[in-house]
Structure 1
Amino acid sequence: AAIALAAVHLRAKDPESVMAVLPADHFIPQADWPKLHADLSLAAAVARREKALVTLGIRPAEAATGFGYLERGEAFREGDSEYFAVQAFHEKPDAATARRYLESGNYFWNSGMFVWEPQVFLEELARLRPETARAFEALALRLSDAAYPRLLAEVFAGLESVSVDYGVMEHAAKVRMVPASFAWDDVGALSSLENILPGDARGNHTQGPSFILDGSGNLVLAERRAVALLGMDGVIVVETPNAVLVLPKDRAQDVKKLVEHLKSIGREDLL
């Protein structure tokens, strides 16, 4: 819904504009920002010429089970650059399927970065989620109305919470993918913080007051209280005012299961 709202506003300001949707929990090294800009420019050119919804795909670095995947289809060229049709979106796979995806070379991680013309997106929204589209098209007629804040609140209150992937992208008529040329990490995943935080000679990465003796490959995030590890390898420890999380590093992608469990027993106060 937030993306539809942005599309409505951008279309009103400039009907020929191109918009980019970029998640806030991604890390791209500053040295690679020119590559990001180049990829976004390519995506914008493809979106404008083909009237397509364009996504940026990340070449898998491992058989990750925590990401959705894009299956590439027909290849196209734009100058010296190559991009692809998206043949299918795939949900987060199990370990065996993720290994198969990695070995095939035909699958990319779904980054959640998108580029399109607002009107093209809104037309796809109307085809796939007509009730949502009607609500925003009605709102589009009242953007300068004094009652707009109230109307906006009413619209959002009546909408189903659906991600743009499920609601639009997986069923869109024409989706293209630009392979990302830049280094990328999803810092929404705990294990990815190892690529951002400083590390020691034994591969321990820490933030906040922490002490590690005879341990390697650990990740420690401490806000207030000191965390001390002795003789431990490959664990993640997160200390917050409300709780302490401890898990093996290879289970980092299962944290969502713990979150759902805490919700199910009424312990949202720990989240």
Structure 2
Amino acid sequence: IRTTERPETGYGYIEKGDPLPNRGDAGTSGVRAIREKPSREQAAEFIRRGDLWNSGMFVWKASTIMNAIERFLPDLHRGLLQIREALGTDREEGVVESIYAGLKSVSIDYGVMEKAKNVLVVPGAFDWSDLGSWDALWEVSEKDENGNVVRGEFIAIDAADSLIQSAGKLVALVGVKDLLVVETKDVLLVCRRGRSQDVRKIVETLEKKGPASYL
């Protein structure tokens, strides 16, 4: 997807290679590299160069992706072959449950696409957003006259361009802007808009130091 001006650190990026002739007028090009979750500085550089967001829309033949999985994720490939052999038999349910549960969890981006060399990209010139962050939700949501996205009880005095998500409590903001305020039954999150991808650092801290009850 063609990028906007904002450097998103929660997205993957596709570094375009040389354009390919005789592929129609879709702008098809090779892929130099696929980079997941870059730093803010790296994301800004990708945007400056005209690289693309990785939207995760992949097209391949079954044989092609299976060959790639065999090469880059051999344990996963062996497990998939065991499952395939059991499909349509009375062993299917048991084999799927036992084998799948033991497979290592890995995304297709990290496991295959970052390593594969036979990859082409076609730029998509349409609006797209990965609604996996509070920043993305603010971007696509309807806003009030002050640029606020409000879900719940809210009072604002000179507060603008913020997202407020409340599960019950009244949220009052005075003299602030560009905030993300998310209140749930047991947790309150307040962060600067544009930093919501850093919430994963809170999760990492909880995983290391606890309390685990918040995970």
Q: Same fold (TM over 0.5)?
A: yes
Instruction: Indicate the residue corresponding to 1:198 in structure 2.
Output: 142
Quick check: 1:58–1:111 contact (8 Å CA) kept in 2?
no
Query: In proportion to residue count, which structure has more helix?
Result: 1
* Partners of 1:114 and 1:268 in 2: CA distance: 36
Give yes or no for contact 1:197–1:205 (8 Å, CA) kept in 2: yes
Aligned to 1:223: 167
Tell me, what secondary structure is at the counterpart of 1:201? coil
If asked which structure has higher relative contact order (CA below 8 Å, sep 6+), I would say 1
Task: Report the RMSD for the aligned CA atoms in angstroms.
Answer: 1.7
User: Match for residue 206 of structure 2?
Assistant: 262
The structural deviation recorded for 1:201 is 2.1
- For the residue of structure 1 that corresponds to 2:164, the secondary structure is strand
Unaligned runs of 5+ in 1: 1-56
Q: TM-score, normalised by structure 2?
A: 0.91
CA contact (8 A) 1:59 1:180 kept: no
- Contact kept, 8 Å, 2:36 with 2:110, in 1: the verdict is no
Please give the secondary structure, in 2, of the residue aligned with 1:250: coil
Q: Name the structure 2 match of 1:99.
A: 44
Deviation at 1:220, TM superposition (A): 0.6
Give the structure 2 partner of residue 73 of structure 1.
17
1:145 aligned partner: 89
The one-letter amino acid of 1:92's match is K
Gaps of 5+ in 2: none
* Inter-partner Cα distance in structure 2 for 1:100 and 1:195: 22
The alpha carbon displacement at 1:197 in A equals 1.9
How much does 1:202 deviate? 1.9
- TM-superposed deviation, 1:126: 0.9
Q: When the two structures are superposed, what TM-score results if normalisation uses the length of structure 1?
A: 0.73
Partner of 1:42: none
**Rounded Cα–Cα distance in structure 1 between residues aligned with 2:23 and 2:201:** 42
Q: Give the conservation status (yes or no) of the 8 Å contact 2:180–2:191.
A: yes
In structure 1, the partner of 2:30 is 85
2:175 aligned with 1:175, yes or no? no
Distance 2:35 2:111 in 1: 14
Query: Counterparts of 1:186 and 1:268 in 2: how far apart (Å)?
Result: 28
Paired residues in the alignment total 214
How much identity, in percent, do the aligned residues show?
A: 35
Question: How many Å separate the matches in 2 of 1:210 and 1:116?
Answer: 48
Cα separation, 2, equivalents of 1:96 and 1:120: 34
- Residues in 2 aligned to 1:195 and 1:92: alpha-carbon distance in whole angstroms: 19
Query: Contact 2:79/2:100 (CA < 8 Å) preserved in 1?
Result: no
Which of 164, 186, 194 is equivalent to 2:108? 164
Q: Report what 1:21 is aligned to.
A: none
Q: Report how far residue 148 of structure 1 moved.
A: 1.0
User: How far apart are residue 66 of structure 1 and its match?
Assistant: 2.3
Q: Deviations over 1:172-217 (max 9, x none)?
A: 2311112122201111111111222221222111122222221111
Q: Deviations over 1:139-191 (max 9, x none)?
A: 11211012211101111222111111111111123111121222011111111
Q: Are residues 110 and 249 of structure 1, via their aligned partners in 2, closer, same or farther at CA, if it must alter by over 3 Å? A: same
- Distance (whole Å) between structure 1 residues aligned to residue 68 and residue 189 of structure 2: 42
* Local SS of the residue matching 2:213: helix
